[in-house]
Amino acid sequence: MVETRCKFWRATTLAAVLFLPVWVHAERSIGDISIVAGHPGLQEWLLPDRPPYPEGNKPNAARVSLGRMLFFDPRLSGDGNMSCATCHNPMFGWSDGLPTARGFQSQVLGRATPTIINTAYNELQMWDGRKHSLEDQAMGPLEAGVEMNMLVDELVDWLQGNKGYRSAFALAYPGEEIDGTTASKAIASFERTIVSRDSLFDAWVRGDPSAMTAAQVNGFKVFLDPGKGNCAACHQAPNFTDDGFHNLGLSSSSDEEADPGRYAQKPIRLMQGAFKTPTLRDVARTAPYFHDGSAATLAEVVDHYVRGGDVKDNLSPNMKVLSITDEEKHDLIAFLHALNSPEQATVLPTLPEGGPVSWAAWRPQPKKDRAVAHNE
């Protein structure tokens, strides 16, 4: 089955609820529709209070605390100076503010660092969707030679020999081994706390008519309107993603050695150059944009979609030239800013005492293993 995953029935249902006057009064344009704060048809845009979690890893204070330590501890890298937070930095919207990621010894990687905000709600992880859960993904960047470059066996030996970590693991996962599995579970538990679901948009959906400006409400109309922005075709409720993969016609897709994207996992023609739809929650904090970091601002992103992409080969069926005014573009960007939740102070952990992991030499990687990093 082609993995676009755009749930057109959801868009149709939303249109039937919110745009009812269009069908009843055919002479009225979509611009005349009044979208009302707190409307019952909007409630699907609200995220659940708690992200889902797998059996055997229900988050609790001990697991989150351990995961926080592991996430921020640079000793978990091959040369002892790079942590998960090096690339997923809370000061940059839990990304890194760079066009594409920097890995071991600052080598430039091929894809942008995705934010971890709301990844707990994702069905698949990373730009090409090759990981199915946060637990499945967590250890990948640590052991990838182009990223943190750590030997897992060496890391596990070090964690088992560290008194502070032994105590933390015993509290978080009593009766379980200290190994890559429990370390991954702890990191995933911490990542499930990085959530955005209390934005101005959410307040407006809950019924506060003053939460968004008139421009932001109009931007939401543009966002929903299939004849205008058509954004909701892929950035669907409630997390503003369809968990699908789309070729957006980026200029980099015409390169001789263009990134195949999802095609490397699912060799279907439509997946050639297709990448995962990111959430738009807190999107104003996570520049630059796209998997190749080619758009520096939200305005550049919108302009790309207005053009219908730059490379027209193998475009996603949802990509088309848009007909929107400059005012509508302004309002659409204003709406995207309304998806930011209030900034929360990030509490850094006190790390267990102890020296670095003994193994700290660089492991040269075959060229074929350098193409894609595991946090991408």
Which DSSP letter does residue 55 get?
Answer: T
pLDDT per residue as tens digits for the range 29-59: 344 446 899 999 999 999 999 999 999 999 9
pLDDT at 139: 94
Report DSSP letters for 215-246, one per residue.
HHHHHHHHHH-TTTT-GGGTS-TTTT--S-EE
Spell out the domain ranges in the chain: 8-34+199-337, 61-195+346-370
CATH number of the 8-34+199-337 domain: 1.10.760.10
pLDDT at 358: 59
pLDDT per residue as tens digits for the range 137-154: 999 999 999 999 999 999
Residue count of the chain: 376
- List the chain residues with pLDDT less than 50: 1-33, 359-363, 365-371
Q: Could you tell me the CA-to-CA distances from 169 to 154, 178, 204, 216, 218 in Å, in that order?
A: 17, 7, 42, 46, 50
Distance, CA of 213 to CA of 288 (rounded, Å): 25
Q: Which two tokens stand for residue 297?
A: 């601002």
Residue with tokens 């790079």: 82
pLDDT at 357: 84
pLDDT at 112: 98
Q: Which two tokens stand for residue 104?
A: 């071991």
**Sequence-ordered list of residues with C-beta below 8 angstroms from that of 147, at least 6 positions apart, any chain:** 82, 87, 101, 103, 104, 109, 141, 373, 374, 375
pLDDT at 28: 28
Class of 61-195+346-370 per CATH?
mainly alpha
pLDDT at 355: 86
Give residue 242's region: left, alpha or beta (phi > 0; psi -120 to 50): alpha
Q: Which of 281, 338, 234 is nearest to 93 (CA)?
A: 281
pLDDT at 375: 55
pLDDT at 24: 26
pLDDT at 23: 27
